Homo-oligomer: A and B are copies of this chain.
């Protein structure tokens, strides 16, 4: 056990680090040159714009107003000024509810900390000898403040037991209140939401193939028959995979063309020349503007033929469709019921928001889904428990002997003893660091393989995988030394009643470790989050080497997002630490509280000024947060049970057994009470909104409103390419309202050319599907499109509906 002094030193270093970060942040954020790094959200929200201002060159990059340097915490009032409602309007409900997790942490742990410090610390300190405090001994050891100081068999464990009950009840009470609040906020959000496409839309997967019918016809027929009163139309999903690749290529070419044209404009005397080969070093010398123009027009021809192929090939139509209804009631009914006798066909569910859709996963068949999920769950288990094996393998490869063989010229350097020992210590660590760095990405890829169709569910799945990893490798792994694999072996060879005992004994001994962990990961880590070192560096690097146009600058601006996949699990780890140590080593609690308070401020600031809202899931992650905190409670009971078991507290320990059962029951109750608000949409609500809308806008043409909602982003490039077709797609759908019954006959007669036209003129909206992740960097993507359009934007196309969130 580290002494209080050791801990003090560690705290000093970390607080100093955090302060340095904050001061750096205070200085950097007010430099105009960093504006796009620290306020990207304001640019996206249109509250700031790239102005060609009249300030001097220096003033445009550096803030020379010295007054603004004084207050290094000047950002705090700004972060707190916004009310919750404004926050919901500014950054969405997800962000607002995410911040509530931090306030929940404060609400749970502040009273617990006060109670624990007032009651448990004196009890622990007095140890076996009640009321004979010896001050000189007490304060040089954390252990003296923890439950370890109470002598075995003492009746004082009743106090700990009582406090465990009090803490659990308090936590459950706060959880209940918060769940109820969030559920209310979600319902209120839906109720006050403006009309949007996903309210009327249902995603239908696994549409069966009927011979001599196209998918669109099958869908039309099925829904006309089974939802005759409410069915409105559908948007088929096309496999525009290769086309998307060509689009990307053309964008790149266009970018270069712009760059050279800009260059030529600035220096009209010098026509830009370059080589065509790799990086401009080899190949033929050509006029760059002519060269890129030629390649661009060639590519456009290939795109046109590919477009024909996508539209005419029936195999390009995926067995997935977005089906729209004429009322929220109709959509709610369709999403919540089973459609077909075969439960693997016609799977309906709420359509995610248009920007939340993860297109590549739309076409995975049902059977494959269940195999994928099985394989991924096996893989996650392996990853959690055996992740050290590949790393050890890599480490064994990346040793010095191997390095010497590959690069013999390095031998003299490596043979120097200092360098050698440094490398030997450094290389294995590097492999581990690299692994941990790419872990969230790996988990996200795994989630994508599982086949979820919305970004929000992908993030939630990633979060839960990451939580298991943290629980086993950070929490258990720290308590029981050794890798998770060794732990697994250890646990399998241990009798079940020994497991909580082993952990229970380890818990108080690791308190200082976790305090240090909280300071490093929680305090300094959060300060690093606000400084945004990585985006800052990358932005300036890009600015120096890559940025050619203003649009490129916009692209280089990476606002990022909250990153639920990573942040939820680490938050949940803090809840776990707080709850486990509340009874055992209460002195850890202030550290947790400081984390929650500080992180709340930082994330509030970041959400207001930095992060881009990629989608709106209306706090769909809350049930997960709730059940993880419940799980933390259960783990805390189990460890306390094990700990007391070693303390020979035979009278008090059995009383603890009711606590996990009560907690479980509470969880079940909450689940049935609140979870439906997150899974279903009540018909009462739907009907109410429908009626209100009908009363206020009796002449609303819903069909035209919904027409373009679930267009694949790639579709807009079709429009740019074929302007004459575009107009036809955007015709008022009301005119064709009852044509879809007749449409099938038209369809049968269609020649290849005619087919394309009817396709685009029909009531079915064509949505284009391609495999690559267009969403991973949603911001980048959308600015690309802005650019793509801007390039030829003398046409002045109206902004497509899914851009409204910029």
| Residue ranges of A at the interface with B (Cβ–Cβ < 8 Å) | 187, 222, 225-227, 229, 329, 332-333, 336-341, 343-344, 346, 366-367, 370-371, 374, 378, 491-498, 661, 665, 668-669, 672-677, 680-685, 687
A494 surroundings in chain B (CB, below 8 A):
495-496
- Closest residue of chain B to A330 (Cβ to Cβ) is B333
When distances are taken between beta carbons in the complex, the residues of chain B under 8 Å from A332 are 337
Contact A684 B339, beta carbon cutoff 8 Å = yes
Q: Which residues of B contact A661 (CB under 8 A)?
A: 374, 378
Residues in B neighbouring A685, C-beta threshold 8 A:
341
A225 to B684, CA, bound (A): 8
Pick from B226, B339, B668, B682: contact of A339, CB under 8 Å: B682
Of the A-B pairs whose beta carbons lie under 8 Å apart in the complex, a sample of 9, sorted by A's number, is A225-B687, A227-B683, A336-B337, A337-B682, A338-B681, A341-B685, A366-B672, A374-B668, A494-B495
| Best-surrounded residue of A497, A680, A684 (most CB of chain B within 10 A) | A684
The one of B187, B344, B371, B680 in contact with A337, judged by C-beta atoms closer than 8 angstroms, is B680
Pick the contact of A682: B329, B340, B665, B674 (CB < 8 A).
Answer: B340
Nearest-Cβ distance from residue A312 to partner chain B, whole angstroms: 31
CB of A226 within 8 A of CB of B683, answer yes
Residue A493 contacts which of B341, B367, B495 (CB distance < 8 angstroms)?
B495
- A496: which B residues are within 8 A, CB to CB? 491-492, 494-496
* Top-3 shortest CB links A-B: A343-B676, A338-B680, A374-B665
By beta carbon, the residue of chain B nearest A677 is B343
Contact across chains for B337 and A337 when beta carbons are under 8 A apart: yes
Q: Which of B187, B336, B338, B367 contacts A341 (CB 8 A)?
A: B187
Closest beta carbon of chain B to A191's beta carbon, Å? 9
Give CA–CA (A340, B685) in the complex, Å. 7
Q: How far is the CB of A580 from chain B (nearest CB, A)?
A: 22
> In the complex, what distance in Å separates the CA atom of A684 from the CA atom of B337?
10
Q: How far is the CB of A334 from chain B (nearest CB, A)?
A: 8
Residues of A contacting B: mostly: helix
| B333 contacts A672, C-beta separation under 8 Å | no
Closest to A332 in B: B337
A339 and B329 alpha carbons, distance in the complex (Å): 11
Q: Output the nearest chain B residue to A228 by Cβ-Cβ distance.
A: B687
Residue pair A682, B492 in contact (C-beta under 8 Å): no
Residues from chain B with a CB closer than 8 A to the CB of A371 are 665
Contacting pair B672 A344 (CB below 8 A): yes
A800 to B748, CA, bound (A): 56
**Is the beta-carbon distance between B229 and A229 smaller than 8 angstroms?**
yes
Task: Identify A668's interface contact among B229, B341, B370, B676, CB under 8 A.
Answer: B370
Contacts of A337 in B (CB 8 A): 332-333, 336-337, 680, 682-683
Q: How far is the CA of A329 from the CA of B338 in the complex (A)?
A: 11
Closest B residue to A685 using CB positions:
B341
Q: Which of A187, A329, A366, A498 has the most CB of B within 10 A?
A: A329
Bound CA span A333–B335, Å: 10
Q: With A336-B338, A496-B491, A681-B338 given, is the CB distance from A343 to B674 under 8 Å?
A: yes
When chains A and B are docked, how far (Å) is the Cα of A225 from the Cα of B222? 27
Contact A672 B370 (CB under 8 A): yes
Once bound together, how far apart are the Cα atoms of A661 and B371, in whole Å? 12
Q: Shortest Cβ distance from A538 into chain B, in angstroms?
A: 43
Identify the closest chain B residue to A190 (Cβ): B341
**Docked pose: A616 CA to B445 CA in angstroms:** 48
* Beta-carbon nearest neighbor of A675 in chain B: B343
B683 pairs with A338, CB closer than 8 A: yes
Q: Which residue of B lies closest to A184 (CB)?
A: B341
Q: Are A687 and B226 in contact (CB under 8 A)?
A: yes
Which B residues are CB-close (under 8 A) to A226?
Answer: 329, 683-684, 687
> A187 to chain B: which residues have CB within 8 Å?
341
Complex contacts, A341 vs chain B, CB 8 Å:
187, 677, 682, 684-685
Kindly provide the distance from the CB of A541 to the nearest chain B CB, expressed in whole angstroms: 47
Complex Cα distance, B498 from A374, in Å, reads 27
Q: Which residues of B contact A329 (CB under 8 A)?
A: 226
Question: Which residue of B has the minimal Cβ distance to A672?
Answer: B370
**Which of A491, A498, A672 gathers the greatest number of chain B CB atoms within 10 Å?**
A672
Contacts of A493 in B (CB 8 A): 495, 497
Smallest Cβ-Cβ distance to A496: which chain B residue: B492
B492 touches A672 (CB 8 A): no
For the complex, give the distance between the alpha carbons of A370 and B668 in Å: 8
Q: Given the complex of chains A and B, what is the CA–CA distance between A243 and B409 in angstroms?
A: 102
The minimal Cβ–Cβ distance linking A678 to chain B, given in whole angstroms, is 10
Q: Chain B contacts of A495 at CB under 8 A?
A: 492-496, 498
CB neighbours (8 Å) of A338 from chain B are 336, 676, 680-683
- Residues in B neighbouring A677, C-beta threshold 8 A: 341, 343
Alpha-carbon distance A672/B365, docked complex (angstroms): 13
Residues of chain B within 8 A of A683, CB atoms compared: 226-227, 337-339
- Closest Cβ of chain B to A78, distance in Å, is 36
Contacts of A374 in B (CB 8 A): 661, 665, 668
A374, closest chain B residue (CB): B665
Chain B positions within 8 Å of A497 at CB level: 492-493
Indicate if the CB atoms of B669 and A370 lie closer than 8 Å. yes
